[in-house]
Structure 1
């Protein structure tokens, strides 16, 4: 995905000003910045929740004239939410099957009528969902309800649901929020493994700098809606503009 010249205003407030960002296939691209920098707005532009006032969005080289949230799965994209967004009244497995549903072919009517093809497809989707749960180490919770599980497990369920769609671009919105150090380390290993093993791209918006610096190949830094730095972690970590944005400057 490539975002070029993205500008977003809310009333008289400029949330983003001519921001560029390109997520390269098979890499993890982090977006960081102080509170109010525009990270969430940029993420929502990439997901179709916010329409930019100016700029372009391209996917696999094709310009998208208007991106809608319901277009994501068809474009090979999946996202997680800060608030998990799990369905508490169905099991973990059924939550993940929802993510795999983009691969369904028989449709609602076929499922409603109980056609043989629909039954086979339902079994295949459940198998696909179970494979993802096992991959994330939470297969034992398949029959449980999300509300009965520890928060770190629920975070993995949300990630499993996104992965069940088999995206080639995964958008992660603060995946480490609410996690302890050990769970955060496991998350970092998982994200790196996804990019390395499956050759998918990851766009990561995150507050935890240690996680971002460890897992990302490229980092874009925003401050007051503008891109102030971009590059690999070592370059960004020592950029004077980044240090000033996070730490402030000395005054007399």
Structure 2
């Protein structure tokens, strides 16, 4: 399903906070057209790893690369220009902006400048504005929430707001989508719908998700990386990880099951 092009590679990543090692020698790769899942018990280092991938945290040692090019000083504002989008655990939606305008905030850098010019009544291209709004409405439609385009986020159910946050990440048409616990707060049915959606995205992008809902990762991921106390204890397909004794031990003997 994947291809030979390099994706987002993290090599020997180590992060310490005040003498505490959060990550130790972690390596992984999110490859084009595949879903990579990062899992582990609470405190395993998943959030720190995600923050390194997004440029929020600079590792003490190790390296990142994207498409074969090194990223020695990655910062969050660099992601859009690289073709990378992200969602965070907190939705981060603007309550005083409509759903459509919230999605437009996630557009690519040039499109964003046109959008903000529109808000400030600065000179702009009407054609470009219409194109961008059509793109945003198209993403909302893909996620089955286009009917909420003119509503405000605070008035919407949580699952709909989650989709709006995802639409904001997708509107820039990224090559890599980084998701931090996308299933949090969702019902079983909503989680199943999310899994179907994520599998459908792989025809045009790579997906890396940090998640603790095992049913979701087992059903949608091509490969898994399992962390425990900041170290990689297992990698492989969902079936391989499910049967790994180290993974079972990390989860205190609880069964790791398929969806």
Structure 2 CA distance for aligned equivalents of residues 86 and 188 of structure 1: 22
1:207 equivalent in alignment to 2:215: no
Within a 5 Å distance, the mapping from 1:170-185 to structure 2 comes to: 170-185=177-192
Within a 5 Å distance, the mapping from 1:24-173 to structure 2 comes to: 24-104=31-111, 107=114, 111=118, 112=120, 114-117=122-125, 119-173=126-180
Runs (4 or more) in structure 1 with deviation over 3 Å come to: 105-114
* TM-score, length of structure 1 as denominator length: 0.94
Structure 1 CA distance for aligned equivalents of residues 115 and 219 of structure 2: 43
Q: Output one character per residue of 1:119-152: Cα deviation in whole Å (capped at 9) or x when no partner.
A: 3222111111000000110000000000000000
1:12 equivalent in alignment to 2:19: yes
Aligned residue pair count = 246
Match of 1:227 in 2: 232
Instruction: Give how far 1:248 is off.
Output: 4.4
Structure 2 CA distance for aligned equivalents of residues 236 and 109 of structure 1: 46
2:81–2:108 contact (8 Å) kept in structure 1: no
Structure 2 CA distance for aligned equivalents of residues 120 and 89 of structure 1: 26
Structure 2 residues without counterparts, runs of 5 or longer: 1-7, 255-259
Greater mean alpha carbon deviation, residues 120-129 or residues 217-226: 120-129
Root-mean-square deviation (CA), in Å? Answer: 1.6
Q: Output one character per residue of 1:100-126: Cα deviation in whole Å (capped at 9) or x when no partner.
A: 243428658964564352x32221111
Structure 1 CA distance for aligned equivalents of residues 206 and 215 of structure 2: 20
* TM-score, length of structure 2 as denominator length: 0.91
If each structure's helix is expressed as a fraction of its own residues, which one has the higher value? 1
Q: Output one character per residue of 1:68-120: Cα deviation in whole Å (capped at 9) or x when no partner.
A: 00000000000001111111100000001111243428658964564352x32
1:31–1:39 contact (8 Å) kept in structure 2: yes
1:103–1:165 contact (8 Å) kept in structure 2: no
Structure 1 CA distance for aligned equivalents of residues 109 and 181 of structure 2: 24
